[in-house]
Amino acid sequence: MTTTSTASRTAIVFPGMGPSAFAEVGKFLLLDPFARARLAEADQALGTSVFDNFREQTEDYSEFSQVAFLVNSMALADRAEETLGVVPDICVGPSFGQKAAAAYVGSLPFAEAVRLTAELARLEEDFFGREYTDVVTHSFVRTPEERLAEILADFDERGVWYEFSGHLDRGFTMLSLRENALEELKERISKAGGYSMYSMRPPVHAPAFAALRRRAEEEVFSRYAFTDPKLPVVTDQDGTVINSADELRTMMLDTFDRPINWPAVVTALKDAGVSRVCVTGPDNLFHRLDCTKDNFEVEAVGLPKRSRPRRSA
């Protein structure tokens, strides 16, 4: 009886989206051959120039910022395949990375993933322009669990609203809360020995946003037909390995009102025999997490570093 070894399996990871300014990625979009090819597809899908629109937008998570991030993520996956010989066995797309993952595994054609991204960006802008206008998602690290539990127990006692939006690593938490409680949270995190990283607007991945999920399903997803993925996909909410179109569609809807659990993803990848992860996209987070580095050989295929001008003597 022959046994198939899974000891050297590779996962491709499409990262969640961080702030992505035109000044940082515009040159890559314009000059990289893989990016230019994907950009041309995106232009055709939307009937407009993604590059020109992205250049004019100033918000970190604007419609064309999101499309540009998708384009870059897919272009870097193309580069990983063509120049590094990456042949993944399994796919993950935490948070925004789900959109690139859906295109990569063939559940949506890339052009449809572009249109879906643009439509969801407009829907989110409309929703958060009307609902939860004072809510942000705050990320912080190095906060001992028992101290965080004390802070949140006090919030509960005083009726301060919050919901978890993500567990990314030991002591690395994403919490959605009203902006008038943000400074107190930052101060108490600091006193507990933790460190505040950034606050996201619009907020993400909280159970309170179930109405956004319903609108996304009714107004956007209802117009798209998903197919079964060509690779297994690990859900970022709980690490479930999925293989069907319906499951992938549900995963993408779950992102609106279910928190990320990256340690659960790491466990699922280890259980699947993954020893190497290739992170393809403009990522400043997932390839740097301790639970990623401690468990896998990590290859980050990101944007080239910007060259700094030489100092004059």
Q: What is the per-residue pLDDT across 210-269, written as a single tens digit (0 to 9) for each?
A: 999 999 999 999 999 999 999 999 999 999 999 999 999 999 999 999 999 999 999 999
Beta-carbon neighbour count of residue 313 at 10 Å? 3
Structure tokens at 31: 């000059």
What fold characterizes domain 9-130+207-301? Malonyl-Coenzyme A Acyl Carrier Protein; domain 2 (3.40.366)
Q: How confident is the model at residue 6 (pLDDT cuts 50, 70, 90)?
A: very low
C-beta pairs of 235-243 under 8 Å, 24+ apart in sequence: 235/265, 236/92, 236/93, 236/94, 236/95, 236/97, 236/98, 236/260, 236/261, 236/262, 236/265, 237/261, 237/264, 238/264, 239/264, 239/265, 239/266, 239/267, 239/268, 240/268, 241/90, 241/268, 241/272
Return the pLDDT at 93: 98
Least confidently predicted of 45-59, 132-146, 236-250: 45-59
Alpha carbon distance 164, 137 (integer Å)? 9
Alpha carbon distance 32, 45 (integer Å)? 20
Q: How confident is the model at residue 7 (pLDDT cuts 50, 70, 90)?
A: low
The amino acid occupying position 113 is: A
Of 13-27, 180-194, 296-310, which one has max mean pLDDT? 180-194
- Identify which of 313, 298, 307, 309 has the alpha carbon closest to the alpha carbon of residue 80: 298
170 CB-contact burial (10 Å; exposed 0-12 / middle 13-18 / buried 19+): middle
Model-level pTM?
0.93
Q: How confident is the model at residue 294 (pLDDT cuts 50, 70, 90)?
A: very high
What is the pLDDT of the chain when averaged over all its residues?
93
Residue 308 has pLDDT above 60, yes or no: no
Q: How confident is the model at residue 304 (pLDDT cuts 50, 70, 90)?
A: confident
Q: Which region, left, alpha or beta, applies to residue 20 given φ > 0 means left and ψ of -120 to 50 means alpha? A: beta
Return the pLDDT at 8: 83
Of 3-17, 20-34, 294-308, which one has max mean pLDDT? 20-34
Least confidently predicted of 4-18, 28-42, 229-243: 4-18
47 CB-contact burial (10 Å; exposed 0-12 / middle 13-18 / buried 19+): exposed
The domain limits of the chain are 9-130+207-301, 135-200
Domains 9-130+207-301 and 135-200 share a fold: no
Q: Classify 135-200 by CATH class.
A: alpha beta
Return the pLDDT at 266: 98
The amino acid occupying position 281 is: G
Least confidently predicted of 152-156, 244-248, 276-280, 301-305: 301-305
Return the pLDDT at 3: 41
pLDDT exceeding 90 applies to what percent of the chain? 88
Torsion sign over Cα 91, 18, 211, 111: negative
